[in-house]
Amino acid sequence: MNDFFEYKWNEPLGDSKEDLLFVRFNFVPESGKILVFAVVQILILENKFVEIIRFDYSQSEAFHVHKFYTKNNDKIYLDGVIDFSLIEMLIGQVRANWRKYRLEFSDK
């Protein structure tokens, strides 16, 4: 039996079926400790999944963001307390800004 739970889901962003928000995280139920998470904006382009932006964390790599919509595909390490409120904030950030990220990706 696992000593952690994994949750994952995706949802459409806007009316298009091409733009998705994907969320995955593992946590220890007894302590609420987050072991790993990813909050990702995905574009389905020519039947392929293309990441636009990905926030992630694991026990082997600190909290960071991959900005695939930038010319240099920037990877930036971030500060933050790794908990459920951080994941909720990142989900809200992608929901609020996905059109901007996609437009910058298209202009790349």
The model's pLDDT over 5-38, given as tens digits with 9 standing for 90+, comes to 999 999 999 998 899 999 999 999 999 999 999 9
Do residues 90 and 39 make contact, with C-beta atoms less than 8 angstroms apart?
Answer: yes
Q: What is the pTM of this model?
A: 0.93
Owning domain of residue 72: 5-107
Residues contacting residue 15 through CB under 8 Å, at least 6 positions apart: none
Is the pLDDT at 1 greater than 80, yes or no?
Answer: no
The structural domain count of the chain equals: 1
Mean pLDDT, the chain, integer: 95
Helix (H) / strand (E) containing 90: helix 84-107
What confidence score (pLDDT) does residue 108 get? 74
Give me 54's structure tokens: 């990905």
Region 47-72: mean pLDDT is: 96
